[in-house]
Amino acid sequence: MHSVRVSVTDKCNFRCTYCMPAEGLTWLPRAEVLSFEEIARVVSVLAQMGVGEVRLTGGEPLVRRDLPVLVRALADTPGVVDLSLTTNGVLLDRLAGPLVRAGLQRLNVSLDSLSHVRFAEVTRRDALAAVLRGLAEAERYPELRPIKVNCVALRGFTEPEVPALAALARAKPYVVRFIEFMPLDADESWRDDQVLTGDEIRRLIEERWPLEELPAKPSSTSRRFRFRDGAGEIGFVNPVSEPFCSSCDRLRITADGQLRTCLFSRREWDLKAALRSGADDRDLAELIRTAVRHKELKHKINERGFVRASRSMSQIGG
Ligand code: SAM
C-alpha cells in the first residue's frame, strides 16, 4: 500500500444529487471525529510503513476549521512524500494561499458543470462562480500542481457538459477527469444504466478533438490522454467499466477513525479505539497490517448479488 485518503469531516456544504440527500445526513458527533493530533499520529505510522501519499478529503475538507494547521503537520511528517486535497472548491479562494504555504502540493477540485443553472441542479447550491474563483486563486500558485478538475459522469446529465469541460482542459492548466458514477450515493438510487462510461465520453470529445493516450503509473486509477494538437490533458477514472482493483494500493480513514481497505468495504478497522486506548505505534502498525491482509480483491459492482458499501461516499471520504 502506498496511498491513504484521510477524511477530515463527514460534513459538506454541497448536496450533490449523486452523493447526499437534499436534507443532508446525520453528522458525526464532534467527539467521534479524529483530532488533528490523532490524524497526524496515524499518518506518521503509515508513512513509516511506506504509505507516503496522503490525500485529505471529506465530506468537504475545507469546512474543517484550521485545516492548514493539519496540512502543515502532515507536510512535516517524515515519510510523507505527496500531500494533496480533494475539494468542491467553494472555499478555495480564501484557503488556497494558506494551504500552499502550509505545504499542500496537489489539488483536485470537483466540478460537474460549467453552466450556473446545471451546476446548481446537480450540487443543489448556486456556487459555480465561487468554485471558479477558487480555481483561479489556486492557479496563482505554481507550486500547487497538477490541478485536477473532476466531473462525475451521469448519463442523461453530463453529455452536454463534455464540450465545455474539454475546452476548459485545453484553455487552462487543469487536467479534467471524468469519473464514472458509483453505487455510493446515500439515496441508494444508483442504477447501472446511469453510468456514462469513460469510453463514451472519450468518443464525444474525439468528435471534435482527437486524443492520444499517455502512459500511466501501474497504480494509477485513471487513463490519461492528451489532445493530439498538444493543448492540454484529459483523464478517465472508470471504476465501473474498467475496474482497477488489482492494482489498487489505497487505504482510507474515515473522519471517525475507521480504516477501510476499499470504497466498497463492509468491514472497518477501528483505529480510533486503538488510538484512544493507549495503543503504541507498534500496535497501530499491527492493526494496519492485519487490515491490509484482509484487503478486498475487487468491488464486485458488476456482479450479481453486489452488496453496497456499509456507508455512502461522503461518510467514507471520496
Ligand atoms: N467534497 C469534496 C469534493 O467535492 O471533492 C471531497 C469529497 S467528495 C465525496 C469526493 C469526490 O467523490 C467528488 O469528486 C465527488 O464528485 C465524488 N463522488 C461523490 N459521490 C460519488 C458517486 N456516487 N460516484 C462517483 N463519484 C462520487
User: Ligand 1 test: best mutation among 18, 67, 158, most atoms within 8 Å of CB?
Assistant: 18
Q: What is the pLDDT of residues 139-174, one digit of tens each?
A: 999 999 999 999 999 999 999 999 999 999 999 999
Nearest CA, atom 2, ligand 1: 87
Helical axes 92-102 vs 67-75, angle rounded to 10°: 30
**Ligand 1 atom index nearest CA of 184:** 23
Considering only CA atoms, give the Rg of the chain.
19
Stretch 208-235: mean pLDDT: 93
Query: For residue 224, what is its C-alpha cell?
Result: 490519461
pLDDT at position 217: 84
CA angle 142, 145, 149 (to 5 degrees): 120
Counting Cα atoms < 13 Å in the Cβ hemisphere of 49 gives 23
Q: What is residue 218's predicted lDDT score, i.e. its pLDDT?
A: 80
**Residue-averaged pLDDT of the chain:** 97
pTM to 2 decimal places: 0.97
Residue type, 70: L
Cell digits for 68? 492548514
Ligand 1 pocket by Cβ (under 6 Å):
12, 16, 18-19, 57-58, 60, 86-88, 110, 150, 152, 179, 181-182, 184-185, 313-314, 318
pLDDT class of 221 with cuts at 50, 70, 90 = confident
In the beta sheet, which residues pair with residue 147?
107, 174
Nearest atom in ligand 1 to 150's CA: 14
Number of Cβ atoms within 10 Å of the Cβ of 220: 14
279-to-42, 48, 74, 227 alpha-carbon distances in Å: 11, 16, 20, 51
251 and 292 Cβ atoms separated by less than 8 Å: yes
pLDDT at 305 over 90: no
Residue 81 CA: distances (Å) to CA of 51, 103, 220: 9, 11, 16
pLDDT in tens, 248-260: 999 999 999 999 9
Determine the residue of 196, 240, 313, 314 to mutate for testing ligand 1's pocket, defined as the one with the most ligand atoms within 8 A of the Cβ atom: 313
Nearest-atom index, ligand 1, CA of 112: 16
Residues in the chain: 318
Angle made by CA atoms 15, 268, 88, in degrees to the nearest 5: 25
Q: Is the pLDDT of residue 85 over 90?
A: yes
Q: How far is the CA of 271 from the centre of ligand 1 (A)?
A: 24
141 phi, psi to nearest 5 deg: -110, 100
Q: Could you write out the DSSP letters of every residue in 226-263?
A: EETTS--EEEEE-TTTS--GGG--EEEE-TTSEEESST
- For ligand 1, what atom is nearest to the CA of residue 12? 1
> The cell 487513463 sits on which residue?
223
- Determine the 3-state secondary structure of 128 from DSSP: helix
Bridge partners, residue 150, by sequence? 110, 177
Measured by CA distance, the residue closest to atom 14 of ligand 1 is 110
Task: Tell which atom from ligand 1 comes closest to the C-alpha of 316.
Answer: 9
* Cell 448556486 belongs to residue: 126
- Residue 216 binned pLDDT confidence (cut-offs 50, 70, 90): confident
User: What residue owns the CA closest to ligand 1's atom 25?
Assistant: 181
Nearest residue to 149 (alpha-carbon basis) of 125, 116, 114: 114
**SS3 assignment, position 139:** helix
Report the separation in Å between the CA atom of 229 and the middle of ligand 1, taken as the mean of its atom positions.
31
Categorize the per-residue pLDDT at 310 as very low, low, confident or very high, splitting at 50, 70 and 90: confident
